[in-house]
Amino acid sequence: MRRREFLGLGALAVLAQDADRLRDPAAAGRFRLPVQPGDNDAVIQALERKLKCTCGCNLDVFTCRTTDFTCTYSPQLHAEVLELFEAGKTPDEIIAAFVAKYGEEALMAPAPVGFNLAGYLVPGLAILAAGTALALVLVMRRKEAASAAAPVGATEDTGVPAPTAEELERLRRALSEVAD
């Protein structure tokens, strides 16, 4: 290539770049790297949703890197995930590597082992226990109330014949339609 052609193409490239250049690039936030194929990998996304960003934002790595564009930690953590993934590590191995490096706090939810099991089981067990206790108390109280109360009609004769089951059902149906 001749010198004149080389300079001409160079000037054209600079001009073309300037045509796309923002007037105040810093006002549009930190510069980004172009999206890589791994960024949209469903496995990577699912994996990063299980890992916490270490910047203190309380978000997972995927959410932080696609939301908080001022964060410098989550892109780095994403790069680490990609590196491990490309090195042939499985998602479980990558999670284990993160826990080894950053501690248990790197997980968005504690692994259900040891004391952490209490985190998962206590609410359910508490509700189950309370529900069982509630049901038992209700049954016992109902029995007490039933044994204490005399049947209606047995203590006094109102002169009104006792309603049949069919009449009762009709009445209840009518009442349920008009009243709460």
Q: Using the minimum distance from each CB to other proteins, give the nearer residue, 44 or 84.
A: 44
Encoded tokens for 104: 């248990």
Q: Is 139 helix (H, G, I), strand (E, B) or coil?
A: helix
Does 45 bind other proteins (CB under 8 A)? Our answer is yes
- Count residues contacting other proteins (CB under 8 A)? 82
Radius of gyration of the chain (CA): 35
Query: Can you tell me the distance from the alpha carbon of 154 to that of 147, in angstroms, rounded to the nearest whole number?
Result: 14
The β-bridge partners of 51 are 107
Q: Which stretch binds other proteins (CB under 8 A): 5-13, 63-71, 80-88, 89-97?
A: 63-71
Contact pattern from residue 13 through residue 42 relative to other proteins, giving x for each residue in contact according to CB under 8 A and a dash for the rest: ----x--xxxxxxxxxxxxxxxx---xx--
Q: Which stretch binds other proteins (CB under 8 A): 7-15, 81-89, 98-106?
A: 98-106
Does 113 bind other proteins (CB under 8 A)? Our answer is no
Look-up: residue for tokens 């082992």? Answer: 113
Minimum distance, C-beta of residue 81 to other proteins, in the bound complex (Å): 14
Q: Within 13 Å, how many C-alpha atoms sit on residue 116's CB side? A: 9
